[in-house]
């Protein structure tokens, strides 16, 4: 009996492998090869930085695919010999507040744009988009003037306000599409059921728009976290440096601290990766929303 069974199993296994081999077609091989190529191109800089961050000083200036031994030197230097944690704290504060501002203002604006009938709605959306079309460098000067006038240079607000301004268009566009995809009847039902307009918004629409809100929130957070030019211009007090400016100021006047830079870059990226991984499912939902009616 058992032998028979084994035979049968063996036969099934063989036929499975044969089936597999038959299923491999050149198109799908090419397809996956292409995806692999794209992935490598995308990931390479990050991997390279990661490798550099582990490379000991003696091997830094020559070319090596892999360091002969890994060092944690750079990480120690970054974390303990620099006010790195302070910078991270600053960055977090700025990015987090920007995200809150954007989500709050953006969702209210988007809701209005999505639900209310008024003249020039399309025009408003276009104008909103115009804001992000100016190269950032062209608005640094005017912004600096405004911020100086408002006495905001060297405060967190000097970053939070411009970031919010720059991120709101994206927020509004994504959330407007999102709100559009939520059937109006749900809101009508909520209002007949006993909600005010605001109640319908917070009890029904926002929970349903959560994927969109999380997605935009993360995009805004990443933008604010990574921004360098404004941070480098509007903040001159080292205590208020965000992480990007902090990293740029590593090392002395005559040397570039490659190791520290690499280490810091890795440490700074990790929170973002964790953030994205946590909310991955929501983000996918958020980016694909509107395609299929729930």
Partner 1 sequence: MANVKLINVSKRWAEVVGVKHLDLEIEDGEFLALLGPSGCGKSTALRIIAGLEEPSEGEVYIGDEMVNGLSPKDRDVAMVFQSYAIYPHMTVRGNMAFPLKLRKFDREEIDKRVEEAAEMLGITDLLDRKPKELSGGQRQRVALGRAIVRKPVLFLMDEPLSNLDAMLRTRMRAELKKLHELLGKTTIYVTHDQVEAMTMADRIVLLKGGEVQQIGMPMELYEHPGNIFVAGFIGSPSMNFLQGELRLDDGVLKFDTESFSWEPSGIGERKMKKLKEWADKKVTLGIRPENLTINREKRSNAIETEIYLVEPLGSELIVTLSVGGGRVIVRASPDLRVKEGQKAFVIVNPEEAHFFEGGGEAIL
Q: Using CB under 8 A, which of the segments 36-44, 65-73, 194-202, 271-279 binds partner 1? A: 194-202
Site for partner 1 in 101-120 (CB under 8 A): 117
135 binds partner 1 (CB under 8 A): no
| Residue 58 contacts partner 1 per CB under 8 A | no
The first and second tokens of residue 78, run together, are 């970054």
Q: Using H for helix, E for strand and C for coil, what is the string for 156-225?
A: CHHHHHHHHHHHHHHHHHHHHHHHHCCCHHHHHHHHHHCCCHHHHHHHHHHHHHHHHHHHHHHHHHHHHH
Judged by CB, which is closer to partner 1: 136, or 177?
177
Distance of CA 57 to the CA centre of its chain: 32
Q: What is the nearest approach in angstroms of partner 1 to the Cβ of residue 267?
A: 37
Residues 183, 273, 281, 284: which binds partner 1 (CB under 8 A)? Answer: 183
- Contact with partner 1 (CB under 8 A) among 159, 190, 218, 268: 190
User: 140-151: buried (b, 16+ CB within 10 Å) or exposed (e) per residue?
Assistant: beebbeebeeee
Do residues 152 and 158 touch, judged by C-beta distance below 8 A?
Answer: yes
- Can residue 208 be called a binding residue for partner 1 (CB under 8 A)? yes
Cα(129)–Cα(196) distance, integer angstroms: 31
Q: Which stretch binds partner 1 (CB under 8 A): 63-71, 91-99, 146-154, 199-207?
A: 199-207
- Selected range binding partner 1 among 132-140, 161-169, 183-191, 242-250, rule: CB under 8 A: 183-191
Contacting positions for partner 1 (CB under 8 A): 117, 183, 185-186, 188-196, 199, 204, 207-208, 294
């Amino acid at each position: 009996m058992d032998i028979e069974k084994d035979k049968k199993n063996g036969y099934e296994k063989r036929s499975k492998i044969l089936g597999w081999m038959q299923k491999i077609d050149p198109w799908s091989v090419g397809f996956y090869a292409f995806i692999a190529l794209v992935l490598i191109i995308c990931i390479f800089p990050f991997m390279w930085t990661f490798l550099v961050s582990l490379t000991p000083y003696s091997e830094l200036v020559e070319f090596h695919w892999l360091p002969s031994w890994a060092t944690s030197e750079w990480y120690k230097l970054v974390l303990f010999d620099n006010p790195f944690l302070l910078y991270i704290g600053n960055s977090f504060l700025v990015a987090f507040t920007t995200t809150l501002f954007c989500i709050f203002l953006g969702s209210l604006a988007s809701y209005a744009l999505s639900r209310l009938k008024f003249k020039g709605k399309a025009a408003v959306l276009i104008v909103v988009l115009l804001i992000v079309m100016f190269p950032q460098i062209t608005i640094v000067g005017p912004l600096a003037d405004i911020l100086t006038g408002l006495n905001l240079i060297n405060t967190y607000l000097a970053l939070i306000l411009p970031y919010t301004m720059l991120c709101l268009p994206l927020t509004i566009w994504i959330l407007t599409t999102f709100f559009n995809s939520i059937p109006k009847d749900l809101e009508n039902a909520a209002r007949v059921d006993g909600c005010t307009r605001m109640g319908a918004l917070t009890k029904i629409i926002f929970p349903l728009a959560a994927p969109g809100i999380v997605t935009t929130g993360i995009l805004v957070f990443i933008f604010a976290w990574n921004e360098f030019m404004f941070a480098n211009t509007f903040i001159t007090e080292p205590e208020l440096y965000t992480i990007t400016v902090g990293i740029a100021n590593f090392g002395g006047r005559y040397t570039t601290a490659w190791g520290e830079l690499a280490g810091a870059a890795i440490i700074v990226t990790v929170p973002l990766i964790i953030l994205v991984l946590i909310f991955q499912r929501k983000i996918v939902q958020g980016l694909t929303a509107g395609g299929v009616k729930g």
